[in-house]
Chains A and B, each alone.
Chain A
Amino acid sequence: MSHSPAPSSPELLLDQHVKYIKELDTKKNDLEYWLTEHLRVNGLYWGTTALHLLGRPEALDHDQIVEYLVKCQHDNGGFGGHIDHDPHILSTLSAVQVLITYDRLDAINVDRVVDYITSLHNPDGTFSGDAWGETDTRFIFCALNCLSLLKRLDDKRLNLDKTIEYIVRCRNFDGGFGSAPGGESHAAQVYVCVGSLTILGAQQHIDADQLGWWLSERQLKNGGLNGRPEKLEDVCYSWWVLSSLSMLKRVHWIDGAKLTKFILEAQDTETGGISDRPGNLPDVFHTNFGICGLSLLGYPGLVVVDPIYCMPRHVIQRIGLADKH
């Protein structure tokens, strides 16, 4: 498969990205399509969010999407990654985010979603990914993000003080956060921990200067960002690092112009879409987070993204959460 990197003074290839996203579901001859079947609902969230930020919300069929998501919900309230796939907190969050973005929460049973998420809450404050018990700070963020969007953070079954305590235990000497206590600081885990503490109004547990500095050190000479020391740059860190800096009010600690150039160079001029770094194949995950990163950097013509929820800001305003953080 051929792919061409963008020219040296690139611009955002808006129409091509819209076309790329619209054609995603047609690639049924690709092995990759089937290997990622369990991520279909997540893929829908990435595609939907990207299209909304590009200002083309009508590019996908809303009714078809809602109908599909309803089929992914199980009796226990959780959503699977695709029809017939087991429920999991990752796909539950994605489903709820898409439904709220399209303002179609009425299509599902919200109480059951809350029941599902609270059933995953553990005595130590963590949330499991599903009934089989895997814990990771990512799942804490999924739970809090989802419950916050559904305005159900005050559910009596939750002990969120314990959750804050647990996240603090995941804080490392460098100011960063890992997936569990003692886990290596990683930009994606930083995003979920900073996001969780922000949603819970507990940012005082973050050493903002120290963490901001660690995050700013993720920027490499080529303008791209990595997730850990001495790792390669990757477009998705344009989101994890930048949104964390945004929540800490320190976006200016990164060279925005260099990062913008890096993201734009990772576009595929032939097929549309954005890849992890210039010259590689695009995918919807990196397309979404590249666009989210550009939006946070104030790229002209893009809809503003919310740094906590990773959804269009006007949607967060519509549901009344924008002033809380």
Chain B
Amino acid sequence: MPYAAYAELKSAIRPTISSDSTDQPWWKDQDRTRRMIGATSCIMMLCPDSFMAVNARKQLVLEGHLDADQEIKYLDMILTFPRNCKSSGAWHHRKWLLCYIYKDHATVPLDPTIVEEQLRVCHQAAERYPKCYYAWTMRHWLVEQLGKRWWQASTDGSETVADGSLEPLERELDRMRSHMNQNISDHSTQQHLQQCMLQLGGRWVVQQAPVTGEKDMVLQWSRKELARRRKRKQELGISRGPVHSVLQTRDTPRKGSYAWVVHLWATELERIRGLIESYPGHESLWYHLRFVYYGLRWLDSETSVPFGGGDAMDTEVKAEFVSQATEDAYVQTIIRGHETTASAETDPASALDIDTRELQSRLCKHYLLFVSHLDDVEVDMPEK
């Protein structure tokens, strides 16, 4: 079948051999256009990565022979085949169609209702074919659309969120948390959840891009920059409280404020630590913990906010949200938990099997290495 479809497509594309016809493009000829629609419909279903076919579909939309909204619905069907979920061509075609329909998307972010509709399609793809890289890439782009209005307000220093523009992002974050609970080894889900947190975090987690000096909506954490920030914080004598005290404060921080973002991160820290204990031996969960830890170190080193979190005046309290010491203590509780269940005589079913215990121990060790590596860098002069 694909052989016949390709033969039809190629003969429709080639100019007709006629002594008095000029070399006009195929989309100006009714018969050739009809044949192209038929041939490309077939190839798209079997192989949306075929550039020849998917490009022709775009040409058909541009020339008005195919309706863009109908084409998106056709793509919905194509993406129900798990093999097609993996196709970068199919997902780019979708993005191209959305940009075609919403022509001013570069200046005016996509309407949240439309974004949420498209997020549903990505979610179905995630359930059909987990960890599909291009479906998640599309989803990041959609979430960026949600974040754009909020980012602008955040980087300008104004934090009023008058029109509820944060709510769609918060809904996506909640969806990711639920999805993560049911897909514990899905690193892509967790990484997307991280993107949601970054979009919600606004200017408190973005760094000025060191290469150009422009304000950039993109995360640019680096160990060197983190070390510089920590040095400045130390020089200014800024102190924090332990992160768990952030969760105990009675005040509801203003949405988008530094305290609100720290609260978001602290909640996630508690959540991921719980998941690691409930589901031992999952590398993805530990990787997510690395992200959350890094974020808290980043937030901790924010020098424009002198206080933040808990009772900073208590000199016995550690002067950082999290540190190597707090993570050492956490890992110790995990290991002690193993030892308790290993010797459990009352409920053998609760004991971890040896492989899982070994894996969890290795993951503990790697995590602590990550934590110590984060601080293990020389601080140079600021880069130009």
Contact residues of A with B, CB < 8 Å?
31, 34-35, 37-38, 80-81, 84-86, 88, 129-130, 132-134, 136, 164-165, 168-169, 171-174, 178-186, 205, 207, 209-210, 213, 217, 228-231
Contact residues of B with A, CB < 8 Å?
2-3, 6, 10, 13-14, 46-47, 49-52, 55, 58, 88-89, 92, 96, 131, 133, 136-137, 140-141, 144, 185-188, 191, 195, 198, 209-212, 216, 218-223, 282-284, 287, 290-291, 294, 366, 369-370, 373
Is the CB–CB distance between B366 and A217 below 8 Å? yes
With the chains together, A81 CA to B6 CA distance in Å?
A: 13
Is the CB–CB distance between A207 and B223 below 8 Å? yes
Is the CB–CB distance between B185 and A230 below 8 Å? yes
Is the CB–CB distance between B136 and A169 below 8 Å? no
CB-based nearest B residue for A133: B96
A31 contacts across to B, CB distance below 8 A? 2
Chain A contact residues: helix, strand, loop or mixed: loop
With the chains together, A168 CA to B209 CA distance in Å?
A: 9
B141 contacts across to A, CB distance below 8 A? 180
Is the CB–CB distance between A130 and B50 below 8 Å? no
A-B contact pairs, 9 of them (CB 8 A): A37-B2, A37-B6, A38-B49, A169-B216, A171-B220, A171-B222, A181-B219, A183-B140, A184-B187
CB-based nearest B residue for A172: B219
B366 contacts across to A, CB distance below 8 A? 217
Is the CB–CB distance between A229 and B284 below 8 Å? yes
CB-based nearest B residue for A185: B191
CB-based nearest B residue for A38: B50
Picked from B51, B188, B198, B369, the residue with its CB within 8 Å of the CB of A88 is: B51
With the chains together, A84 CA to B188 CA distance in Å?
A: 37
Add 6 more A-B contacts to A168-B209, A171-B222 (CB < 8 A). Answer: A35-B46, A130-B55, A132-B96, A210-B373, A230-B187, A230-B282
With the chains together, A133 CA to B191 CA distance in Å?
A: 25
Q: A134-B92, A180-B140, A184-B188 are in contact. Are A230 and B218 (CB under 8 A)?
A: no
With the chains together, A85 CA to B9 CA distance in Å?
A: 10
Q: A38-B51, A132-B96, A184-B136 are in contact. Are A231 and B2 (CB under 8 A)?
A: no
A207 contacts across to B, CB distance below 8 A? 222-223
B223 contacts across to A, CB distance below 8 A? 207, 210
Q: A38-B47, A182-B195, A228-B131 are in contact. Are A132 and B55 (CB under 8 A)?
A: yes
A180 contacts across to B, CB distance below 8 A? 137, 140-141
Is the CB–CB distance between B3 and A80 below 8 Å? no
Picked from B49, B137, B219, B373, the residue with its CB within 8 Å of the CB of A179 is: B137
With the chains together, A27 CA to B218 CA distance in Å?
A: 47
A185 contacts across to B, CB distance below 8 A? 191
Picked from A184, A217, A230, the residue with its CB within 8 Å of the CB of B133 is: A184
Count chain A CB atoms within 10 A of each CB in B14, B50, B186 and give the residue with the most: B50
Is the CB–CB distance between A183 and B52 below 8 Å? no
B10 contacts across to A, CB distance below 8 A? 84
Is the CB–CB distance between B283 and A230 below 8 Å? yes
With the chains together, A86 CA to B58 CA distance in Å?
A: 13
Q: A34-B6, A88-B51, A169-B209 are in contact. Are A182 and B373 (CB under 8 A)?
A: no
CB distance from A213 to the nearest CB of B (A): 7
Q: Which 4 residue pairs across A and B have the least CB separation, nearest first?
A: A34-B2, A134-B92, A181-B218, A230-B185
Is the CB–CB distance between A35 and B2 below 8 Å? yes
Is the CB–CB distance between B282 and A182 below 8 Å? no
CB distance from B105 to the nearest CB of A (A): 13
With the chains together, A81 CA to B43 CA distance in Å?
A: 15
Q: A37-B6, A179-B137, A210-B373 are in contact. Are A231 and B55 (CB under 8 A)?
A: no
Is the CB–CB distance between B137 and A174 below 8 Å? no
A210 contacts across to B, CB distance below 8 A? 223, 373
Is the CB–CB distance between B52 and A86 below 8 Å? yes
With the chains together, A230 CA to B173 CA distance in Å?
A: 22
With the chains together, A182 CA to B138 CA distance in Å?
A: 11
Is the CB–CB distance between A84 and B212 below 8 Å? no
Q: A133-B96, A174-B290, A182-B198 are in contact. Are A169 and B220 (CB under 8 A)?
A: yes
